[in-house]
Amino acid sequence: MKSSAQPAATSAVAASNRPRRPGQTLKVLVAALFLAFVLPLLLLAGLLAWHQYRILTTWPAVDAVVTKVDWTTTTTHTTRAAITSYGARFTFRYPAGGRVYESSADLGSTSSIRSQVERWMKQMPAGSHQRIRYDPSHPASITLAADYTSRSFAAPRALAKWAVIIAAASASLLGLGWRAGRAGVGSQESATPKA
C-alpha cells in the first residue's frame, strides 16, 4: 500500500530546492515593514488626531489663571549614563459649571535641555492667564491644547511623519526589489538554452 503523503513531501523538497527569485527578499521585507510599522503608526496617528479634534469641538474653552508652575524631571537609566528629561507642570484656577476648579496639567513636551523648559515656563508664569479646555463631564480634567494649532496636533503629526519616512524607505526598497526581479528574469531567459 502506497502512502499519499509521499508526493506532497517530494514537491515540498523540490520547492525548497528551487532558487529564490531575485528581489523576492526585498519585497517580503517591504511588506513586513509596511504591516509592522506604517499601518500601525498611521492608525495611531488617526486615533490621536480624532481624539484631539473631539476635545476641540466638545470641551468648553475657558480663561484660566496660572496659580503654580513646577518642574518635572524624569531620569532614564541606560547602560552608559542616566539621562534626565525636564518638563513643566502648571496648576490653573478656572470657572466651570458655576464652580471654581483648580487642576494641573503637564506641558506635554519634555527636553533634556533645562533652559528650553525655562523658556516655556516663562511664557506662562504664575498669575498669567491662559486659555484651556475642560471635560464637561469631569471639569477637573483639563488640556492646554485649546485651539487649532500645530502644537495641538503635535503627537499625531509626529507619528504620521515617521509613517511617511518608513513608507518612503519601503517604496525605495520595493523599487530595488522590482529592478532586481526584472534583471533576474532577463538573465534567466538569456541563460536558458533555446531548442
- Taken in order 181, 187, 188, 190, the sign of the CA dihedral is positive
Domain boundaries, the chain: 23-59+147-183, 63-135
**pLDDT band (50, 70, 90) for residue 127:** very high
Return the pLDDT at 8: 54
For residues 145 and 55, the answer to whether their CB atoms sit within 8 Å is yes
pLDDT of residue 137: 93
- Which DSSP string corresponds to 85-151? EEEEEEEEEEEETTEEEEEEEE-S--BS-HHHHHHHHHHS-TT-EEEEEEETTEEEEEES--SSSTT
Q: Please give the Cα distance from 72 to 86 (Å, whole number).
A: 6
Q: pLDDT tens, 171-186?
A: 777 777 667 666 655 5
Inform me whether the pLDDT recorded for 138 exceeds 90.
Answer: yes
Q: How many angstroms separate the CA atoms of 169 and 34, rounded? A: 10
pLDDT, tens digit, 9 for 90 and up, residues 61-103: 999 999 999 988 888 877 778 888 888 899 999 999 899 999 9
Q: What is the DSSP letter of 37?
A: I
